[in-house]
Amino acid sequence: MSTHPITGGDINSAFRLQGDSKAYFIKLNHANLEAMFAAEFAGLQELASTQTLRVPLPIVYGTTQNHSFLVLEYLALGASSRKSECLLGQQLASLHQQPKAYFGWGTDNTIGRTPQFNQCCADWPIFWREQRLKTQLEFAAKQGYKGNLQTLGEQLCDGFAALFTTYQPQPSLVHGDLWAGNVAADQQGRPVIFDPACYYGDRETDLAMTELFGGFSADFYAAYQDVWPLDEGYGIRKTLYNLYHVLNHLNLFGIGYLRQAENIMAKLLAELR
């Protein structure tokens, strides 16, 4: 049996554990972070249970004296192709058609290293305000980001429900952290998604994040729209949804994201006037 380090992650150390006939993907972190891996384990189970998109199957998580760990099946992954991008769009739309009676999830999880709260709620704007935007603004305030950021944030939290007067999203199972770095293709050319931050929310949140850092082709969006067309108001709401991730990057990586967050909030407030 041999162990090989895998590079590329920001949060955890990762390794491929190679046995005589099978390989495993292992994540390690500090011993006090077992709950983070427990939530990821549950998210991968939930995604796998839909039989829509392929994910690395979770095997076990736990804690040693010095580390918490998560063991997944090892998948040999490569770059996405036009075929896999089309399949990703179709299969993501199918994933989003997995319904629930509420927004949220059965457990809290993390977005990066940041706690992400998922208390069940019947009202989507309230869920997004209380458990997404306000929590990120509170984390930012604790790190000293006050002043204009908090003023704009308070105004936006008071007013963004106007974006939902003619649009009532259904609770859909979302990946939660769907940027290009969390998508690949297996050796058969099938799309694979991983590193989820799952909950039941507006499907537009997943689509919005695919646009935040780029990396998804026109084929992906066309394939998604063929299965389940987006509402015409998505073009404005995607900015609201991506604000959450920009605020999270501010809290994780520092002041370089402050101006971007403030500009997004000012743009949204101008749309609401």
Distance CA 259, CA 224 (A): 32
Angle, CA of 109, 7 and 59, to the nearest 5°: 50
Active site (catalytic) residues: 177
Distance CA 60, CA 51 (A): 20
Q: Which residue has 């991968």 as its token pair?
A: 44
Dihedral-angle region of residue 176 (phi above 0 means left; psi in -120 to 50 means alpha; beta otherwise): left
Identify any residues that bridge with 193 across adjacent strands, giving them in sequence order.
183
Distance CA 44, CA 54 (A): 10
Element holding 13 (H helix, E strand):
strand 13-18
